[in-house]
Amino acid sequence: MIAIIAILIALLLPAVQQAREAARRTLCRNKMKQLGLALHNYHDTHTVFPAAQFANGDCSIAPPKQIPSCTLNLSGLVMLLPFIDQATLYNQLDFNHAFYNRVTGNGAPLCGTAAGMAANRAVIQRWLNPFLCPSDGHPKTSRLYKTNYDMVVTRGHTRCNEWVKQSRTSRTMFDDGSFCRIRDIKDGTSNTVAMCETIRDCCGNGDNAEWGARGWVKNGLDFGALKINLYVRSGTNFFPRLGEWGSPGSWHEGGMHVLMGDGAVRFISESTDFVLQRNLSRIADKNVIGEF
């Protein structure tokens, strides 16, 4: 009798686990849809999408870089707070002070005071449920990425106001100092990826900026240059951590969710053609998008 029960449990357990993951995947999808609504409500309010980062500390004073008067190290995710039922949290922040202490030797000084930055960091060090995928089982420790969802950018930690200088055909929706409007998305919002998933724990490369701050290498996710669920970097397999900072990926088997510019959420296979990934990440490259 005990043996029969054990066999039945062994048969049922995979089905139970699959059902739980299906529920988690659906919840993850719904969270991304809420972020899509937040982006569009922000656009309706301000007539522009937020930048991926504001006044990053890696900006160089030397020409031709354009630097701000002071360094904020602010993540664009902060700007979405009032639109995801987090207005109370947003109102606790003081944008006269920096959000992280990353400044290179030739960058602009930090905004405000050390006390003001500490107060901002006390707010953004909280784990926010809207930014967490339920399928990601990594524990909440200080070395994690602290968000499972981020904006699609062009990878590069010294990309200061590069969106303005970039060719229009190579722009993503977001970047340092970007100010993308719907009319700028010439390829169509249904053919452009705005945000995608990542695993909270990366390869350990970089500093530990929270979801509300941008550090050295945390400027967003590069869907156009890094493969989905890439665990290997320089010959080393970092699994279960992603191998490269800024990598798109998830704990969902076989791929991840992406948020399109029109607010729709799609599931993209990790075997997706890399050229298609690059084309989907750009807002005006005029390349034909096939089925995906």
Q: Three-state secondary structure along 84-113?
A: CCCHHHHCCCCCCCCCCCCCCCCCCCECCC
Burial class of 235 by CB neighbour count within 10 A (0 to 12, 13 to 18, 19+): exposed
Which residues touch 118 (CB under 8 Å, ≥6 apart)? Answer: none
Which residues touch 128 (CB under 8 Å, ≥6 apart)? Answer: 86, 89, 147, 211
What residues does each domain of the chain span? 24-281
Considering the chain, what is the average pLDDT of its residues? 87
The yes-or-no verdict on residue 12 having pLDDT over 70 is: no
* Whole-number pLDDT of residue 241: 84
Which band of pLDDT confidence, cut at 50, 70 and 90, is reported for residue 32? very high
Tokens of 249: 């990926």
The yes-or-no verdict on residue 11 having pLDDT over 90 is: no
Q: 20 or 17, which is more confident?
A: 20
Give the Cβ contact number of residue 84 at 10 Å: 20
Long-range contacts of 135-142, Cβ-Cβ distance < 8 Å, separation of 24 or more = 135/21, 135/24, 135/25, 135/28, 135/250, 135/251, 135/252, 136/199, 136/200, 136/250, 136/251, 137/251, 138/199, 138/200, 138/201, 142/208
DSSP string, 115-181: HHHHHHHHHHTS--GGG--TT------TTS-S-SEEEB----TT-SSHHHHS-GGG--S--BT----
Q: Rounded to two decimals, what is the model's pTM? A: 0.90
Which of 24-38, 179-193, 216-230 has the weakest average pLDDT? 216-230
Q: What is the pLDDT of residues 107-124, one digit of tens each?
A: 789 999 999 999 999 999
* Whole-number pLDDT of residue 266: 97
The yes-or-no verdict on residue 236 having pLDDT over 60 is: yes
* Whole-number pLDDT of residue 224: 94
* Whole-number pLDDT of residue 217: 77
pLDDT above 70 as % of the chain? 86
Residue 255, beta-bridge partner list: 269
Q: What is the pLDDT of residues 205-235, one digit of tens each?
A: 555 678 999 987 788 999 999 999 998 888 8
Residues written for the chain: 292
* Whole-number pLDDT of residue 171: 94
Which band of pLDDT confidence, cut at 50, 70 and 90, is reported for residue 19? low
pLDDT above 90 as % of the chain? 60
Tokens of 128: 């926010």
Strands 193-197 and 255-260: antiparallel
* Whole-number pLDDT of residue 143: 60
Q: What is the pLDDT of residues 164-178, one digit of tens each?
A: 888 888 999 999 889
The yes-or-no verdict on residue 17 having pLDDT over 70 is: no
Q: What is the pLDDT of residues 66-89, one digit of tens each?
A: 667 899 999 999 999 999 999 999
* Whole-number pLDDT of residue 168: 85
Give the Cβ contact number of residue 185 at 10 Å: 21
